[in-house]
Structure 1
Amino acid sequence: MKPTHNPLAVYVHIPFCHVKCTYCAFNTYIGLDALVDSFVEALIEEIKYIGRVRPSQRVGTIFFGGGTPSVLTPAHYTRIFAALHDSFAFDGDAEISLEVNPADVSYGYLRALREIGFNRISIGMQSANAHELRLFNRRHDNDAVARAVSAARGAGFGNLNLDLMYGNPHQTMGDWENSLQAMLTLKPDHVSLYALTLEEGTPMQDWVEKGRVPEPDDDLAADMYDFATAQLGAAGYVQYEISNWAKAGHECAHNLQYWRNMPYLGLGPGAHGFANGVRYSVLLSPQRYIKTMMALDGNAALLDYPLTPVVDQVNVLTQKDEITDTLLMGLRLIGEGVPRQAFRERFGIDLLDLHGDLLRGFAARGLIAFDDERVKLTDQGRLLSNLVFRALV
């Protein structure tokens, strides 16, 4: 299959969960197991539709997120991969990632996924402390994480990420140190650390509002971030993005596509995409998604790329929009920042000609550093990144 376009990323959203985490505001559903087979059929139809609109696009990364992608069986993924290979041209070294819940996976399951074509796995550890996992309504314990990591390594995954959360209600620095140490003992190739955010409509947000749990302490969360940065650096991890660290060569290529504001397709209910100057999202309801994709008239005219019949919202971007997005995303990259030459080639203007006074002002305050090659946040700027980002909007 001959590639016809520049490489892009593909995100596939699997909206099913066995239980709902108390902090989660993603488009996920429990109690819909009976829809899984129909969902897979609809997803395959969506993949094929994109393949008809623009055949054989070159793909460098695919990321299956959720929800809980490990709800699907290897048989499901075999069929999904067949559709992807029929519709896209995979790079030879394409990064293909899957998020899993450590309570779901076994060596046999992971070995089957590795043979299908997955080569990167992200395990939702979140915490090593039982009281935090109970607060989150997570189904696993720390032993399950260790078993999942061992199974993944045995199955042949040489690129493994672990997620942790900090700034949680009731969390102490001792709790955080325990989680970090437990995580480091498992020797992941990549680490993602996320500060808890109180999302509208979640049980966690409701509990904080009603005083059932304390509001997260921002100052303590900042101390936890600083402590983790030092610990991970000492353990040989390089911080390449505000929330992400990796051993050399194990940076997440898929997420780099986002942070460089490069094109990616979003497939599945609630997925978001950006391609051809358009940001879009797929309708949320799995039932409507399935009904719409399975009722397609094969003779109907195809929509303009990257749209499909299940796209629910579309935002056509101006150049100003793309410039702002490129700056806000690129400044999250610690070493890379926003390369000035690439910015000039993409937008026809130099960053300092566009925002020179603002950037020089932030540089004088020690928040931004720039030279002939790039503009990036300083260590202090990372801690005050929202201040910088707001000024650039």
Structure 2
Amino acid sequence: MDAHSLYLHIPFCQKRCAYCDFNTFAGLENTIPAYVNALCREMRLVAASLPYRLPVHTLFFGGGTPSLLSVEQVATILETAATVFDVSPRAEITLEANPGTVTRETLRGLRRLGVNRLSFGVQSAHPEELAILTRLHDYSDVIRSVQWAREAGFENLNLDLMFGLPGQTLERWQRTLELVLGLRPEHLSLYCLTIEKGTPFFRWSARGLLEIPDDDLAADMYEHAMDRLGEAGFIQYEISNWARPSGEGTWYSCRHNLQYWRGLPYLGMGAGAHGYAGGFRTANVKPVPHYIQRCQLGESQPFPRSPANDEFHPVSVQDEMAEMMMVGLRLTEEGISEEVFQHRFGKNLREVYRNILPALEQQGLIEWAGQNHDHLRLTRRGRLLGNRVFSAFL
């Protein structure tokens, strides 16, 4: 059986950022103890639906702000996971953190528990941009957090950055990149701001209160990042992700996210979490009180169902192929292997998409790579126009 990944959603924030449309809540910190209990019960219920311990090779605490949990609460969650699942002794265990919410002692405690990868939400090095994003930290918090993480023994750090921000210039973006490169992270995730419906940014933008850079300027920022990070020794292995070499031909790529992009199974636990396992897509109820109640009162159901599920549906082979094309093409180096596609679906990749691939090739958006030209991937131009490529497979 394929090793699974485990996503653990922690929906709590000190303050909800103005651009965020994730399932997150501010002001509910008093429910964290009950939520941790519910999350552990959900893991036990899903695990109990199988006659064996499911192999798990990555765990990811996402949010929200997982660093709002105490070390003891993280320990409880990890101990439960290790009890009910067959967690690999070499598992990648990632925890997302806001730079202003960690201490030296907390980071030491997390490292002792076995958390071996941290992802800091930096976003920008400029106070004006952080203020627009309604972030609570400043760049000095980032410097301290990285220093404390290194002192605690973390050797795998990711820093999240955003570009295409209101009023952002190319020069400011370049300065942010140079400052974070000086921190020597193993991994960088770079995201272009998107204005999502229902957020304060959406309302402000509709009223003309946000000066959003145009598409050409955002593209210039992205291209500069591709060039500069390549010079700095990073490989761009996914549209928005870069990793340094970790030795012997390997890289500090995020193994958990590779599970998503390769279309491999993962369980989503927590309020609003999504999962894909056993040929089914799952999505949990979003409100924290509802999630806690469902887990407290629910019973074990056939795998991969959870009593917290709000949605549960099978994935057709046609949909699975299309999803593999959309997420697999995000892998800018690896792309999609003809052999892997054939093995998984019993169909020839070129034949299945014979009406789509030639046009995308002609437009210079995709190419066949590898020694035998048997891996389909995006071109450099295709990385800039990825959504055009992905939509072709819908």
Give the TM bin, normalised by the shorter chain.
Answer: over 0.9
- How many angstroms does 1:291 deviate by? 1.4
C-alpha contact 1:11 1:62 (8 A) present in aligned 2: yes
Q: Provide the residue aligned with 1:113 in structure 2.
A: 110
Tell whether 2:360 aligns with 1:359.
no
Partner of 2:389: 388
Q: Does structure 1 conserve the Cα–Cα contact (< 8 Å) formed by 2:261 and 2:327?
A: yes
Moved over 6 A (4+): none
Matches within 5 A, 1:1-393: 5-54=1-50, 55-248=52-245, 249-296=251-298, 302-370=300-368, 372-393=373-394
> 1:219 Cα shift?
1.1
Counterparts of 1:189 and 1:105, CA distance in 2: 19
Secondary structure at 2:16 match in 1? coil
Alpha-carbon distance, 1:372 to partner: 4.2
User: For structure 1, which segment, 350-359 or 173-182, has the greater mean C-alpha deviation from structure 2 after superposition?
Assistant: 350-359
Percent identity of equivalent pairs:
43
Cα deviation code 1:264-299 (max 9, x no counterpart): 000000100001111110000110111121123xxx
The answer to whether the 8 Å contact 2:111/2:153 transfers is yes
SS in 2 for 1:62: strand
Gaps of 5+ in 2: 246-250
**Aligned letter for 2:346?**
G
State the alpha-carbon separation in 2 of the partners of residues 163 and 347 from structure 1: 35
Q: CA deviation at 1:360?
A: 2.2
Shift in Å, 1:92: 2.6
Q: Distance in 1 between matches of 2:149 and 2:194?
A: 29
Q: Secondary structure at the match of 2:99?
A: coil
CA contact (8 A) 1:8 1:262 kept: yes
Instruction: Give SS of 2:282's match.
Output: strand
Q: Is the 8 A contact 1:191 1:245 kept in 2?
A: yes
In 2, Cα distance between equivalents of 1:368 and 1:30: 42
Instruction: Give the superposition deviation at 1:358.
Output: 2.1
Give the Cα–Cα distance (whole angstroms) in 2 for the partners of residues 144 and 235 of structure 1.
Answer: 24
- Cα separation, 2, equivalents of 1:20 and 1:387: 31
Letter in 2 for 1:209: A
Aligned length: 385
Deviation at 1:373, TM superposition (A): 2.2
Partner Cα distance (2:382, 2:193) in 1? 20
TM-score (norm 1): 0.96
Query: Which residues of structure 1 form unaligned runs of 5+?
Result: none
| In 2, Cα distance between equivalents of 1:219 and 1:315 | 40
- Secondary structure of 2:333's match? coil
* Counterpart-to-counterpart distance in 1, 2:230 and 2:373: 27
Separation in structure 2 between the aligned mates of residue 116 and residue 50 of structure 1, nearest angstrom: 23
Cα distance in 1 for residues equivalent to 2:384 and 2:67: 35
CA distance in 1, matches of 2:103, 2:9: 22
1:329-354 per-residue CA deviation (whole Å, 9 max, x = no partner) reads: 00010110001101000000111011
Counterpart residue type for residue 278 of structure 1: F
Task: Check conservation: 1:339, 1:374, Cα contact below 8 A.
Answer: yes
Q: State the alpha-carbon separation in 1 of the partners of residues 338 and 367 from structure 2.
A: 13
Give deviations 1:153-196, integer Å, cap 9, x for gaps.
Answer: 11111110001000011111111011111110111000000000
C-alpha contact (below 8 Å) 2:97/2:119 kept by paired residues = yes
Q: How far apart, CA to CA, are the structure 1 residues paired with 2:388 and 2:29?
A: 43
Tell me which residue corresponds to 2:248: none
C-alpha distance in structure 2 between counterparts of 1:380 and 1:15, whole Å = 36
Q: Is the 8 A contact 1:340 1:372 kept in 2?
A: no
CA distance in 2, matches of 1:330, 1:307: 26
Q: Which amino acid aligns with 1:385?
A: G
What amino acid is aligned across from residue 146 of structure 2 in structure 1? V
Structure 2: how far apart are the matches of 1:352 and 1:91?
Answer: 36
CA distance in 1, matches of 2:225, 2:297: 50
Tell me the TM-score normalised to structure 2 length: 0.96
Mapped partners of 2:286, 2:112: distance in 1 = 31
Q: Do the aligned partners of 1:272 and 1:281 also contact (CA within 8 Å) in 2?
A: yes
SS of 1:41's equivalent?
A: helix
Query: Which secondary structure does the structure 2 equivalent of 1:165 belong to?
Result: strand
The letter of the residue matching 1:14 is I
Q: Which secondary structure state, in structure 2, belongs to the residue aligned with residue 392 of structure 1?
A: coil
Q: Distance in 1 between matches of 2:377 and 2:294?
A: 44
Tell me the alpha carbon deviations over residues 32-62 of structure 1, each in whole angstroms, 9 at most, x when there is no partner. Answer: 1110100011111011111211241111111
Contact 1:239–1:245 at 8 Å: present in 2 too? yes
- Superposed displacement of residue 388, structure 1: 1.5
Q: Secondary structure at the match of 1:349?
A: coil
